[in-house]
């Protein structure tokens, strides 16, 4: 992870590290941009997109 740039991280020992692969984030960003740009959505409502993972947290 982090290609050697992040050598250490100070965290809480009881905390859970939740990692989301970057390709999931990019896919969500592209899909949200396409949906917004296609004009198929109702413009009155604010859209909120969330990309998170709860299936495989690293403990």
Extract the tokens encoding 35: 């949906």
Q: Which residue, chain included where needed, has tokens 């409502």?
A: 45
CA dist 8 and 10 (Å) reads: 7
- Asked if 41 and 47 count as a contact pair (C-beta separation under 8 A), the reply is yes
Domain boundaries defined on the chain: 15-40
CA dist 16 and 57 (Å) reads: 7
pLDDT in tens, 5-57: 777 777 777 777 777 888 989 999 999 888 888 876 666 778 888 887 766 55
Q: Which residue, chain included where needed, has tokens 């896919």?
A: 27
pTM, entire model: 0.57
Extract the tokens encoding 37: 């740009």
């Amino acid at each position: 992870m982090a290609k050697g740039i992040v050598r250490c991280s100070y965290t809480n020992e009881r905390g859970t590290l939740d990692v989301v692969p970057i390709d999931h984030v990019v896919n969500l960003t592209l899909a949200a941009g396409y949906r917004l740009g296609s004009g198929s959505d109702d413009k009155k409502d604010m859209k909120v997109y969330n990309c998170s993972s709860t299936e495989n947290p690293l403990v």
